[in-house]
A and B are shown apart, each in its own frame.
Chain A
Amino acid sequence: MTAPATPAPVLDVWNLTTSFRIEGTWYPAVRGISFALAPNETLALVGESGCGKSMTALSILGLVPTANGRVEADGIMFEGRDLARLSDEEMREVRGNGISMIFQEPMTSLNPVLTIGFQVTEALIYHQNLSRAEAEREALALLDLVKIPSAKSRFREYPHQFSGGMRQRVMIAMALACRPKVILADEPTTALDVTIQAQILALLNELKAETGMSMIFITHNLGVVAALADRVAVMYAGDIVEIASVGELFARPTHPYTEALLRSIPRSDRDTAELHTIPGAVPPIHRMPKGCRFAARCPLAQDICRAMDPPLEPLDPESPHAVRCWVRGGHDLAALTEDANV
């Protein structure tokens, strides 16, 4: 979905499908999703574990293991090139340089036997052909930028001498090293405690404003989404089921799944006797039902939902708010049921 009246997107994903082979059969983990990322925009991908949000990020970077994985797309356009059709060599140029990634686990995402300084410096030498001295100066500036206190004296320290939050800052510094146009942040705050989380989010927001980069922020935490995102894409079982600006989504959640997700946020400002949960579980990848994949857990499910897969369509032609739902998507159910029966 491209929002109208936005400048040319930095990253434009058309019909991305990522499949995995299980016992000889290919099953899609991401099912033909499309989205565009505007310059300096933060798009949040939200969904339960296993809904395909991390796979989307890995697919964009071409990091899906080739042994049992397969990425197909009509196009992953970045800087005028289709990433889906680049050679391995060309793709390595893009990774860490044009698009970089921040991982979920800061405790294990740094090499334990190499110094922090070395690891930040390496990316700069590799992609920007800087001399070691230049790269070290630049790396120090980066560590200052991500607010690591007394970066200079800690430059030669090893990861085990850093706390989780500090390591995540180092990871962010590495991701930012080559001034990428797009950052893919895969649950960068999930492993951190709440106060550190807030600091890291504030830092990311600040850096985004400073550098003008765009960000795809993968999370299952809707509170984080509200704080950070410009637009939100809600994913379920490999599909984008709803995409809208963050204000619109929170004000007018339309897909029953989005609605249920929002209801499930525990709120401290209201008395509730029990926590809302969504009954049932995501169907396993090798046993996806026909029709809408949320139908089995949906309170609004009709016959047509179990028979036909709904399309992702804007609520009205002018709106960037799109929903994949027969019931809520403004479809003429009577006519559709008629069609399905004929």
Chain B
Amino acid sequence: MTDQTEALPRGVSRHPFVDQLAKAFRTNKLTWVGAVIFVLIVLVAIAAPLLSPHDPLQQNILHRLKGPGPEFWLGTDAYGRDILSRLLYGARVSLIIGVAAIGSAMVIGSAIGVVAGYYGGKVDLVIMQAMDVLLAFPALILGLIVVAMLGPSMENLIIAISLTAIPPFARIARAPTIVVKERDYIEACRALGYGDLRIMTLHVLPNVLSEILVMGSLWLATAIRVEASLSFIGLGVKPPTASWGGMIREGFENILDNIWLSIFPSLAILLVVFSLNLLGDGLRDAIDPRTRSDA
């Protein structure tokens, strides 16, 4: 056997996923672009109260439907609210809903996928058939059904979007689990007496984690899009709260007076989705099984 210890200095310890991340950023410069834009958007959302020039909910009839100008940089809406401030606060809503929905979908979906892949047979069949039923609905339709049933609110939006994202995560977690469970080290775990739950959580899950995380970055973009779409048709967060989808719709009502009302929130959505897709694509290429070492 070749001695691979020489390649790395002694004591330097790197998780294989760290290597994959490093490779993603080294080989594909666009990954950097995506990461930087996304991090900036997150920072801006966090610092919204500090950065906003105006109160996003403050109505002012005297300043309604203004175009971009020195006082209101991106203009005002039909109630005279500052578009820039509403965009900054809207970023919070989009990101909170997206991260919460995808976070829970990631946890639940990968648990389902690992269990299905690990046990195989009938368990796998039943679980994956159920997932296929969910998958048959387009994300928007399923979200629409759930929100229509539960009523529009932030929590229900999160539940609805998370529900649509669980099946793809289950699929993404199941496939590598089927490969990993046949590996010698899982057999070795059994020979050490470990139970199924321990093997699944401590030994299988870390091996499928990178795939799940990459999928997460791509699905975060989808979640933000779906949130905007649901808000656009009036099933999103309740009106006074700023959300990008809601802002586009409100802008539509006055589009002949002020086209910027819809343009700016659309650009914001575009920017987030674009940055997440750049980031996700870069990561996905880096963990591509064809280029991955078998160690």
Contact = CB atoms under 8 A, between A and B. Distances in A.
A164 B13 contact: no
Contacts of A302: none
Contacts, number: 110
Contacts of A101: 188, 191
Given A161-B4, A161-B8, A162-B5, A126 B295 contact: no
Interface in A136-164: 150, 153-154, 156-164
A61 B1 contact: no
A150 B10 contact: yes
A114 B206 contact: yes
Given A108-B185, A160-B16, A193-B1, A113 B190 contact: no
Nearest to B190: A63
A156 to B, nearest CB: 4
Given A95-B193, A115-B13, A166 B295 contact: no
Q: Which of B5, B15, B185, B194 has the most CB of A within 10 A?
A: B185
Contacts of B3: 163
Contact of B192 (A126, A160, A193): A126
A331 to B, nearest CB: 40
Interface in B152-188: 183-185, 187-188
A111 interface: yes
Interface in B190-240: 190-195, 198, 202-203, 206-207, 209
Contacts of B2: 163-164
Nearest to A116: B13
Contacts of A113: 15-17, 206-207, 209
Contact of A94 (B13, B189, B193, B203): B193
Contacts of A193: 1
A192 B5 CA distance: 16
A61 B194 CA distance: 13
B194 A157 contact: no
Nearest to B183: A108
B1 A163 contact: yes
Contact of B203 (A92, A111, A123): A111
B138 interface: no
Contact of B1 (A92, A95, A107, A109): A107
B193 A92 contact: yes
Contacts of A110: 185, 188
A161 B193 contact: no
Nearest to B120: A67
Contacts of B1: 107, 163-165, 191-193, 196
Contacts of A150: 10-11
Contacts of B188: 101, 103, 109-110, 171, 174
A185 to B, nearest CB: 12
A125 to B, nearest CB: 11
Interface in A88-146: 91-97, 100-101, 103, 105, 107-115, 122-123, 126-127
A103 B192 CA distance: 11
A111 B13 contact: no
B160 to A, nearest CB: 33
A158 B16 contact: yes
Interface residues of A, number: 47
Contacts of A109: 184-185, 187-188
Interface string A176-211: 000000000000000111001000000000000000
B191 A63 contact: yes
A323 to B, nearest CB: 32
Contacts of B290: none
Interface in A42-68: 61, 63, 67
Contacts of B184: 103, 105, 108-109
Nearest to A97: B193
Nearest to B10: A153
Contacts of A111: 185, 189, 203, 206-207
Given A108-B183, A158-B13, A95 B192 contact: yes
A161 B5 contact: yes
Contacts of A94: 193
A174 B194 CA distance: 13
Contact of A158 (B15, B121, B190, B207): B15
B129 interface: no
B291 interface: no
A159 B295 contact: yes
Interface in B89-135: 121
Interface string B11-55: 111111100000000000000000000000000000000000000
Contacts of B15: 113, 158
A161 B13 CA distance: 8
A109 B184 CA distance: 5
B293 A103 contact: no
Contacts of B191: 61, 63, 95-96, 100-101, 103
Given A103-B184, A111-B203, A166 B5 contact: yes
Nearest to A63: B190
A154 B11 contact: yes
Given A63-B191, A112-B185, A193-B1, 17 more contacts: A63-B190, A67-B121, A95-B193, A105-B184, A108-B184, A114-B203, A122-B194, A123-B192, A126-B198, A153-B11, A156-B13, A157-B11, A161-B12, A163-B1, A163-B2, A166-B5, A174-B192
Interface of A: 61, 63, 67, 91-97, 100-101, 103, 105, 107-115, 122-123, 126-127, 150, 153-154, 156-166, 171, 174, 191-193, 196
11 contacts: A101-B191, A105-B184, A108-B184, A114-B206, A122-B192, A150-B10, A153-B11, A158-B16, A164-B2, A191-B1, A193-B1
Give me the 7 closest cross-chain CB pairs, A-B, nearest first.
A164-B1, A96-B192, A95-B193, A160-B295, A96-B193, A101-B191, A92-B193
